[in-house]
């Protein structure tokens, strides 16, 4: 019985370590904005484009529309993350690269980043 217990522990620990290393090395695919569609809702993608418009909500959320020449898309950055982004970087025509979850709000697709590392300005 002790051998079975040890064997189960070894397999459990190795399985957890495998999941960690696979998820840590996962790089979300990069898409042109016009390639992102409703079937991708719930998945993580990377897009980049120029900021066409932006505004800060009174609650601190940042809403941007970006375009890469193939289409445009909304990027929603909630206040907890928006507060960690340098507002000097957020300007019209600045190129931004965003990794985040594809979501749909009021019939429109948007990308929602989860961490400061998911947003970079070029």
Measured at the CA of 50, the angle between CA 46 and CA 51, to 5 degrees, comes to: 100
The two three-digit tokens of residue 52, written as one number: 């066409």
- pLDDT tens digits for range 57-101: 999 999 999 999 999 999 999 999 999 988 888 888 899 999 999
How far apart CA 79 and CA 58 sit, in angstroms, is 10
- pLDDT tens digits for range 28-52: 889 999 999 999 999 999 999 999 9
> With 70 as the cut, is the pLDDT of residue 25 above it?
no
How far apart CA 72 and CA 108 sit, in angstroms, is 11
Q: 54 — phi, psi (to 5°)?
A: -155, 150
Domain spanning 28-121: which CATH class is it, in words? mainly beta
Contact (CB, 8 A) for 20 and 63: no
pTM: 0.77
């Amino acid at each position: 019985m002790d051998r079975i217990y040890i064997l189960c522990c070894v397999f459990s620990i190795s399985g957890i370590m495998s999941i960690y290393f696979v998820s840590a090395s996962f790089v979300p695919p990069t898409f042109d904005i016009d390639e992102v569609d409703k079937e991708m809702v719930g998945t993580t993608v990377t897009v980049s484009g120029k900021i066409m418009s932006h505004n800060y909500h009174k609650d601190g959320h940042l809403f941007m529309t970006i375009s890469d020449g193939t289409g445009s898309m909304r990027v929603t950055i909630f206040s907890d993350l928006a507060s960690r982004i340098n507002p000097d970087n957020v300007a019209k025509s600045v190129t931004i690269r965003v990794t985040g979850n594809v979501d749909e709000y009021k019939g429109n697709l948007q990308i929602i980043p989860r961490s400061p590392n998911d947003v970079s300005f070029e």
